[in-house]
């Protein structure tokens, strides 16, 4: 997963007109982690959420899930509808998260998502959250800023923000 994450970060950097290794320095002392999620079956799925609406606060999330399904993403069009992410065998789901949004000065947007529980089946998922070093100052990259594109986000320290969230 780590290797895949770095590859994706390289591709994102290139897509922004930056050199592939642009994000590398932030991850030398990375604080990425894996979480094991277990959702028990719930007879009243319309009354309960597995995970409430949120955006991931790292750079990228790589998610492995079983075949039960339940993850939904919010569409960014006007209707803001929740769209079911159909499980595809042996495929990972990639969530762009808050830090990529800030680094790219909004060219990429963090995706809002939630998890619906299933009335009959339990569900497992394994997200790998890619986080830079604890002391990384997260701010729009200088190369992407000029007088026509002012920074849209204020700088913050990755680790401090995370501690506050917890």
Ligand X SMILES: O=C(O)CCC(=O)C(=O)O
Q: Which does 115 bind (CB under 5 to 8 A by kind): Fe ion, ligand X, none?
A: ligand X
Among residues 23, 39, 56, 99, the one that binds Fe ion under rule CB under 5 A: 56
Binding mask 91-130 for ligand X (x = CB under 6 A): ----------------------x-x---------x-x---
Instruction: Kindly state the tokens that stand for 85.
Output: 């992410």
Q: Which of residues 125-144 bind ligand X (CB under 6 A)?
A: 125, 127
Q: Which does 35 bind (CB under 5 to 8 A by kind): ligand X, Fe ion, none?
A: ligand X
Q: Which does 71 bind (CB under 5 to 8 A by kind): Fe ion, ligand X, none?
A: ligand X
How big is the site for Fe ion, counted in residues (CB under 5 A)?
1
Segment interacting with Fe ion, rule: CB under 5 A, options 26-34, 54-62, 98-106, 155-163: 54-62
Instruction: Kindly state the tokens that stand for 135.
Output: 């002391």
Distances (CA, A) of 133 to 16, 17, 90: 22, 23, 30
The yes or no reply on residue 75 touching ligand X (CB under 6 A) is no
- CA 37-101-135 angle, 5° bins: 75
Q: Which of residues 32-51 bind ligand X (CB under 6 A)?
A: 35, 37, 51
Q: Which residues bind Fe ion (CB under 5 A)?
A: 56
């Amino acid at each position: 997963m780590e290797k895949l994450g770095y590859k994706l970060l390289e591709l994102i950097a290139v897509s922004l007109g930056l050199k592939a290794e642009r994000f590398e320095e932030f991850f030398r002392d990375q604080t990425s982690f894996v979480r094991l999620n277990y959702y028990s079956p719930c007879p009243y799925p319309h009354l309960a959420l597995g995970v409430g609406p949120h955006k991931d606060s790292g750079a990228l999330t790589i998610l492995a899930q079983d075949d039960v399904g339940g993850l939904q993403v919010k569409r960014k069009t006007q209707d803001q509808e929740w769209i079911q992410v159909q499980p595809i065998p042996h495929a990972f789901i990639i969530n762009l998260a808050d830090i990529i949004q800030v680094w790219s000065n909004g060219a990429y947007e963090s995706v809002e998502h939630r998890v619906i529980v299933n009335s009959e089946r339990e569900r497992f998922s394994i997200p790998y959250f890619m986080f830079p070093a604890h002391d990384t100052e997260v701010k729009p990259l200088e190369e992407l800023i000029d007088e026509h594109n002012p920074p849209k986000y204020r700088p913050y320290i990755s680790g401090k923000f995370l501690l506050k969230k917890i």
